Structure 1
Amino acid sequence: MAMITICGFPCSGKSTRAQQLADFLQAKLADPLCPPHHRARKVVLLNDESLGILKRSYDVDARAEKPARATLFSAVQRNLARDAIVIVDAMNYIKGARYQMYCEAREVGVRTCTLFIATPPDQCKERNSARQGPTAYAPATLDNLISRFEEPNSAARWDAPLVTVAADDPPLDAPTGGAGGEGVEGSEAAQQVWRAITEGELKPPNLATQSVQTSSTSYLTLLDSTSSSLITALLSRQSLSPHSGPTTLTLPPSSSAPRTAAPLRVTLTLNRPVALPQLQRLKRQFVQLHARTAGATEFDDKRIVAMFAQYVEEQMR
């Protein structure tokens, strides 16, 4: 049915808001006045505690952070379904990770919504200092995570629709006192989330999420070499003239393609220069995002070029 991604600083109150939202949604689904086509079989709440992810996994220079994020994403993959509402209660501070979950939700065919808990950093630090033992972040870790947080943007498709909740807003499961169309009411923010996951646009799988079978014998190599080829062509064109709208690039076909294969062409729309380190970072994220399909459903070089171009466009907005 839907995936709700919750994001915010550490100790911003995400888990409290997530539980309030889960209680509201469960009551909403159990309400006899809820239309049958809006009913989900279950509400699933995923968080670090339920998945056994420790706070020290996010320590500065800790190697456990990537496996922790992978554990969360795997749980999202397992639970996403058209008859379930999945609440992803985590910092979700990296927009690339939010994009990855967004693509997975579109592939399954469910609606998405982002809930941003906008608590000031100083208040988060006060809450963390009041915690004890393994429930608290190390001060250096907290500062590092706050500085790395990539705030959601309603203009980004993977963050939209975006609902923002301030620290002093009422509980999500608190009745508004207004005359609602259905029996169960919650705060205005909770009602916005409900409308987003029941009435919002249900986006079909796009180029970045459609899978096709190919005969590639080394998919990881194909991902890496094809995206590297686009970077080379983009930097070459950029050195000749600045970007000013749509730019068409011509790339050689992959080494696995037939000798008679035509060159690959792709159009990007970038309005500012992109540095090589930025492109290399985006390539690493892109390859990691799609490498999980290796050996099962894979893409050919034309699809990879188009997907990587789209990914660069979205990340550079």
Structure 2
Amino acid sequence: MALITISGYPSSGKTRRAQQLRDDLEARLQDSNYTGPKLKVSIISDDTLSIPRDVYNDGRAEKTARAALFTAVQRQMAQDTILIMDSMNYIKGFRYQMYCAAREQKLRVCTRRRARLYSGNLGKPFASLRRAFINGSLDSPLFTVPWTDDDVPIDEIWKAVTEGNVKPPNAGTQAVPKAPTDALRTLEHATTSMVAAIMAEQSASQGLGGPVTLTLSATVKPRITLPARNLTLSELQRLKRQFVTVHKKAITLGTTEKGAVDWSEESIADKFAVYIEGNLKP
């Protein structure tokens, strides 16, 4: 349903605000006038995961703690849950990571920032921590709660988590479609067969060119338009190497094409025919 990220300095009242927010949201969900879907409100924090405060004194330990927080957030994200993430969340990249995860689950998001600064033993240089917050204030919608306020802006937050826009998953974070295990073998076999078939067709037609149908197998018969000249084997082999190199990357690293990618011999032969037509000299 929604992810609410609380971001603030140590000992600035984040947990109290998270509890206020949970109580207010639960009261609205239980109100007789509420007619929306059945929802629950959950809080994830250092306390709920038994993460000690001193982990923030050590960069490596803090990284492990953030990983535990993020894993817990991912597990509890759901369409029937308003999830409150109560931690310092001062690193912009970490907030963005949770933001992308929420978009993957098609959840609404909002950030509540604590506006009160406290000094003392923070476990990190205070100036560095302050800069991290200032440089990472691009969260939207963003609600800043001054320390003097008695409560959170529940009306605005309620509207954001129940009526706000649900943004589609970020293209850069979507799972990359994987090619079948025999795709590389099929790629090599189809392109090699195409080169051999073109050379045989050219020999039989004496280089007349024009549209022809090549027969690679009983079911694979790509069409290609050849130029009215003799093509050399080295010329076709060069185009084959270029085509294979490009498609090997797509097979091993994944492709950004939408939907399932067809790595069948017929599909590869058709693509190679188009590639040859577009790259052959007249």
Structures share a fold, TM > 0.5? yes
Q: 2:134 aligns with which of 140, 144, 151?
A: 151
1:2 counterpart residue number? 2
Distance, in Å, in 1 between the alignment partners of 2:174 and 2:16 is 36
1:208 counterpart residue number? 172
8 Å CA contact retained: 1:93, 1:148: no
Shift of 1:71: 0.4
Q: Percent identity?
A: 44
Q: 1:112 aligns with which of 109, 113, 134?
A: 109
The normalised TM-score by structure 1 is 0.56
Superposed CA offset, 1:78-113 (max 9, x none): 000000010000110001000000111011111001
Structure 2's unaligned 5+ residue stretches are: 182-242, 258-282
Distance, in Å, in 2 between the alignment partners of 1:65 and 1:47 is 14
8 Å CA contact retained: 2:10, 2:122: no
2:29 counterpart residue number? 29
2:162 counterpart residue number? 198
Distance, in Å, in 2 between the alignment partners of 1:168 and 1:263 is 57
Q: Secondary structure at the match of 1:259?
A: helix
1:51 counterpart residue number? 49
8 Å CA contact retained: 2:43, 2:83: yes
Superposed CA offset, 1:106-146 (max 9, x none): 111110010011112xxx12xx5xxxxxxxxx455362663
1:141 counterpart residue number? 124
Distance, in Å, in 1 between the alignment partners of 2:122 and 2:167 is 41
Aligned residues: 195
Listed as ranges, the matches of 1:29-178 within 5 Å are 29-37=29-37, 39-40=38-39, 42-59=40-57, 61-120=58-117, 124-125=118-119, 138-141=121-124, 143=126, 146-147=129-130, 149-151=132-134, 156=138, 159-172=139-152
1:260/1:26 CA distance change after superposition, 3 Å: closer
Q: Secondary structure at the match of 1:112?
A: strand
Q: Secondary structure at the match of 2:85?
A: strand
Q: Secondary structure at the match of 1:208?
A: helix
Which one has the largest radius of gyration? 2
2:14 counterpart residue number? 14
Listed as ranges, the matches of 1:294-313 within 5 Å are 300=254, 302=256
The normalised TM-score by structure 2 is 0.62
Shift of 1:215: 3.6
Distance, in Å, in 2 between the alignment partners of 1:169 and 1:153 is 23
8 Å CA contact retained: 1:6, 1:114: yes
Superposed CA offset, 1:254-301 (max 9, x none): xxx93144999xxxxxxxxxxxxxxxxxxxxxxxxxxxxxxxxx9725
Q: Secondary structure at the match of 2:124?
A: helix
Alpha-carbon RMSD across the aligned residues, in angstroms, is 2.8
Runs of 4+ in 1 over 6 A off after TM superposition: none
1:139/1:152 CA distance change after superposition, 3 Å: closer
